[in-house]
Amino acid sequence: DIVQIDIREPQENIEVSANLYGQFIEYLDNSITGGIFDENSPLSDADGFRKDVLIKMEDLKTPVLRYPGGTVTKTYHWEDGIGPRSERPARRNLIWGGVEDNHFGTDEYIKYCRLIGAEPSIVVNMGTGTAEEAANWVEYCNGTGNTYYANLRRQNGSEEPYNVKLWSLGNEEAAWEDAGRLSNPEKYAEEAWYFAKMMKLTDPSIKLFSVADPFKKEWNDVVLGSLAPIADYISVHWYVGTVEGKPLSIYSQIASFDTTLTELSSYLSQYPEKVENFSKWYRFPSRQDAIKISVDEWGIWESTGGGKYNLDCRYTWRHALATASFLNVFHRQAGSVTMANWAQSVNVLGAILASDKGSIEQTVYYPLMYFRQYLGNSLMSVETSGMPVIEGGENLQALDISSTYNDKTNEVSVFVVNRSDKKVSANMNIEGVKASNAKLVQITSVNEDAKNVIGQESVVAVTEENVSLRKGIKIEPLSINIIVFKK
Ligand code: AHR
């Protein structure tokens, strides 16, 4: 049996944003302190950044780094994290436990973003914080005048403004379970509008993210009923985990996310592409582009993860295959999803694991890194026929595929995940493309349950070879593949 894969120029051009490869860090256990930052480690530089972790973060080519949470934002006060480190107040982390010494704050975060080449993306405190506090944070980061907060930034070492453009109006505010107080949509909409006004008056050029809930239409109706004129993004979170005894269930949850994104995208189409006739009384502009979806947090959160909240996940090779499938969903949904952040970067649900002895890439790191490397800037359409389904997988197709085109290098990349334990032969037909020679990057592991462990050799193997597309290609069992050729 041979699978036929047809790659075509799409009828309309759909841009694929590199921001689909964002990352996320939070004041949660050893995600920041003990993860990317450790002043007491011999593995750290003079700023306290772990050098070994930094290299791994750089290799991910993360275009955007979201901070400081997460649920913790509901109690985080940014002014605790500026000025001389020895004078910063230590506070209990009421959300996740432990004590936060605040030695990694806004200036350290921006420095870290600059080091890894990522754009900062900040979430403000709408739980115990005020709109004024949020606006002051904008002024601290972006103010150019002779003002108190801009001068405070200068005093703390940065003459130049940080120019932070991405600001989220809270985090998961629709959830009543944690310290939030805005889980009523009318309440959130009213507060968020007020926060937005104060922040936009401080810097009219910032982009705002409003909290959405894919399962609560009423929430979205009320919130966007108010915020649609100024919300550039809606923020959605999605974690998957395995249903006990059903290892393939992880893929069905990714498929249902795909459906949810399609529904959300069609829901958003009722809002105008750009807002005209915005009230003349507001001294800031209205939204000028269609509202986009930002999957601000996504990842794999197993109930067997370990630690108090199962956040201590040790990812298997199956998790890496699932991560690659997730990324394919983002590529295919790129018309409406323009940002997504893997949650989280280090230790806590981390793509990278760091201990005081060293750090490693977990299995899930590999698709994040390699897909990013070969990501193009527009979407190609993919059609298949003769696709085998996986036994016991509720109609789960063996191969999951997406494709992009890069107009700078003139290269097409085809991202193929083989989730079955059988080899699949495929013929690739590329309409309008003369190429017959391609590069095949193949990422495999020893078995589906293999994990990377600190101090041991990696269980992941990456090979690159030249292949002739005319002869058809063989897709190895349980493998992640990127097929790249010139158009
Ligand atoms: O990433 C861990 C937590 O998951 C975040 O704090 C929260 O936003 C989400 O529920």
CA distance 76 to 105: 11
Our count of domains for the chain comes to 2
Ligand 1 pocket residue status of 341, Cβ below 6 Å: no
The H-or-E segment that residue 7 falls in is strand 2-8
Ligand 1 pocket residue status of 343, Cβ below 6 Å: yes
Q: What is the pLDDT along the chain (487 residues), one digit of tens a residue?
A: 899 999 999 999 999 999 999 999 999 999 999 999 999 999 999 999 999 999 999 999 999 999 999 999 999 999 999 999 999 999 999 999 999 999 999 999 999 999 999 999 999 999 999 999 999 999 999 999 999 999 999 999 999 999 999 999 999 999 877 777 999 999 999 999 999 999 999 999 999 999 999 999 999 999 999 999 999 999 999 999 999 999 999 999 999 999 999 999 999 999 999 999 898 888 999 999 999 999 999 999 999 999 989 999 999 999 999 999 999 999 999 999 999 999 999 999 999 999 999 999 999 999 999 999 999 999 999 999 999 999 887 889 999 999 999 999 999 999 999 999 999 999 998 875 656 899 999 999 999 999 999 999 999 999 999 999 888 899 999 999 999 999 8
Please report the beta strands in 99-232, taking only residues with DSSP state E, as ranges in sequence order: 99-100, 119-123, 166-169, 207-211
Residue 68's identity, in one-letter code, is P
Ligand 1 pocket residue status of 258, Cβ below 6 Å: no
Q: Is the CB of residue 208 less than 8 Å from the CB of residue 219?
A: no
Residue 237 lies in a domain: yes
CA distance 351 to 32: 13
Minimum CA distance residue for ligand 1 atom 7: 70
Q: Choose one of 30, 171, 296, 312 to mutate for the ligand 1 pocket test, by most ligand atoms within 8 angstroms of C-beta.
A: 171
* The pLDDT of residue 469: 87
Does one domain contain both 341 and 389?
no
Does one domain contain both 271 and 405?
no
- How far away, in angstroms, is 479 Cα from ligand 1 center? 29
Residue with tokens 């959130």: 188
User: C-alpha angle with apex 484: 369 to 325, nearest 5 degrees?
Assistant: 50
Rounded to 5 degrees, φ, ψ at 203 are: -145, 100
* The pLDDT of residue 434: 54
CA distance 138 to 142: 6
* The pLDDT of residue 432: 59
CATH of residue 316's domain is: 3.20.20.80
Which of 326, 341, 375 is the C-terminal boundary of a domain? Answer: 375
What is the DSSP annotation of 90-132? Answer: PEE-TTT-SEE---S-HHHHHHHHHHHTPEEEEE---SS--HH
CA distance 395 to 265: 25
Ligand 1 pocket residue status of 173, Cβ below 6 Å: no
| CA nearest to 60, candidates 311, 340, 352 | 352
Ligand 1 pocket residue status of 479, Cβ below 6 Å: no
Domain that holds residue 396: 379-486
Question: Packing angle between helix 51-59 and helix 106-116, nearest 10 degrees?
Answer: 50
CA distance 162 to 142: 6
Q: Which residues contact 279 (CB under 8 A, 6 or more apart)?
A: none
CA distance 470 to 485: 13
Which of 375, 400, 429 is the C-terminal boundary of a domain? Answer: 375
Tokens of residue 138, six digits: 């904008």
Residue with tokens 């080519």: 61
Exposed e or buried b per residue across 80-114, where buried means at least 16 C-beta atoms within 10 angstroms of its C-beta: bbbeeeeebeebeeebbeeebbbbbbbbbbbebbe
Does one domain contain both 410 and 366?
no
Does one domain contain both 153 and 225?
yes
Q: Which residues contact 187 (CB under 8 A, 6 or more apart)?
A: 181
Number of H helices, E strands in the chain: 9, 21
Minimum CA distance residue for ligand 1 atom 4: 70
Q: Is the CB of residue 452 less than 8 Å from the CB of residue 360?
A: yes
Whether complex ipTM tops 0.95: yes
CA distance 217 to 225: 12
3-state secondary structure of 226: helix
3-state secondary structure of 373: helix
* The pLDDT of residue 433: 62
Cis peptide bond prior to 344, omega within 30° of 0: yes
Does one domain contain both 309 and 345?
yes
Which of 375, 399, 434 is the C-terminal boundary of a domain? Answer: 375
